[in-house]
Amino acid sequence: MTDESPKWIYNLIFFMMLSSSFVLIEPSPYDFFMLLIVCCGLFFSLIKFPNEVFIPLLFILLFLIFQFISLLFAKETNMSFTYLAITCYLMISWFVIVGIGPKLKISLLQVVMKGYLISAVISAAIGILAYFNLLPFSDFLVMYGRAKAFFKDPNVFGPFLIMPALYVFSLFEKEQAAKYKILYALSFLLLLTAIFVSFSRAAWGNWALSFIIYFLLTKRELLQKRLKTIISLSVLSIPVLVWLTQSPFVVELFQARLSMQGYDESRFATQKEALVIGLKNPFGIGPGQSEYFFQMAPHSLYARIIIENGIWSVVLFIFFILLSINKSYHSYKQSIDESAVYFLIICASLIGLTFNSFFIDTLHWRHFWLLLSLAWCAPQIRGDDG
């Protein structure tokens, strides 16, 4: 950690991440800690934006302006104001995390990753135990026979676990001590099992794509070591797969999730209609109006933005995501030592979430905005004293 940074800010960030998997209530504990970080960041002048953040900052501000313009066309104004307020809060969280990045440097990524991993492992364990009805009030922690833990939906629970799964995979790779290597292997298998029992098809695709990207972007000198890690963990996962396939209910639900669901047709029809209406209404129908208009959510980030905020908003947001992915990739290439793997994980996870967003509305996902902000942290390059 940098000497110039107040130590309490790291504690706030760590506890924020530790609470990030307990989001059944709103505002959640995560939001409470984020609000403290926002206030402290402003009060103690911890926020400073580097020049390279100007373009994504401009895109976000333009996106926000179009949000307010679309508000003029909303029919259910109370719903629209509430939805826009949440979007504004998440944008502010992006501003603050990006703003304190230059002050905290690589220590920010270290604290976030550690807190996130611990929270994800706890959440994964709760989700798995609840799925197999091994906890009191297990019914409260599952939905439609799918694990969700303390999330509102299995489709959020599954994707939430993907970045920490990649992180613990990287820890397993570099660890030499046998006891920690076993701990990381068990944590990885736990997270993978939890992603599976969320039975979120988008999360499965997200995980597969994120892992492939993580592997493909590996620097040449690490490729052989990474292959050995994959083989080792694949062998260790065989007992878990055998155990899961022993349950007829698991197999039946897995087969059902891989087939076309009854609601898929109406979901895709809604997305198609959202696209048509969005193209006809350049400023959209207003934030949060999709459910009011269709009586159901569009189940796509891009479909929601285009119908609610217009074509220019979706273009701005897509470019903002692509800029963040590009920044994390270049930071990975420039980085040395520990910081390189952080940016590789962020890059791979963002690509996975971009895919996930075609099938789930991710605009109000806290960990999506967190990843988008971490992508703009300063890399640790050769000759950097930080």
Residue 377 has pLDDT above 50, yes or no: yes
Q: Is the peptide bond before 27 cis (omega within 30 degrees of 0)?
A: yes
pLDDT band for position 184 (cuts 50, 70, 90): very high
Residue 2 has pLDDT above 50, yes or no: no
DSSP codes, 135-146: STTGGGGEETTE
Bridge partners of 381, per DSSP, are: 335
Residue 359 has pLDDT above 50, yes or no: yes
Q: Which parts of 105-161 fold into alpha helices (H)?
A: 106-131, 154-160
Average confidence (pLDDT) over 76-80: 91
Residue 358 has pLDDT above 50, yes or no: yes
Q: What is the pLDDT of residues 190-231, one digit of tens each?
A: 999 999 999 999 999 999 999 999 988 876 666 666 777 777
Where are any strands of DSSP class E within 82-236? 142-143, 146-147
* Residue whose structure tokens are 């609000």: 35
Q: N- to C-terminal Cα distance for the chain? A: 8
Average confidence (pLDDT) over 266-276: 80
Residue 26 has pLDDT above 70, yes or no: yes
pLDDT attached to residue 222 = 67
Provide the token pair at 265: 């047709």
DSSP codes, 328-365: HHHHHHHB-HHHHHHHHHHHHHHHHHHHHTTTS--TT-
pLDDT band for position 64 (cuts 50, 70, 90): very high
pLDDT attached to residue 237 = 73
Where are any strands of DSSP class E within 117-258? 142-143, 146-147
Where are any strands of DSSP class E within 25-161? 142-143, 146-147
Q: What is the pLDDT of residues 279-290, one digit of tens each?
A: 888 899 999 998
Determine whether 62 is exposed, middle or buried from the number of CB atoms within 10 Å of its CB (0-12, 13-18, 19+).
Answer: middle
pLDDT band for position 297 (cuts 50, 70, 90): confident
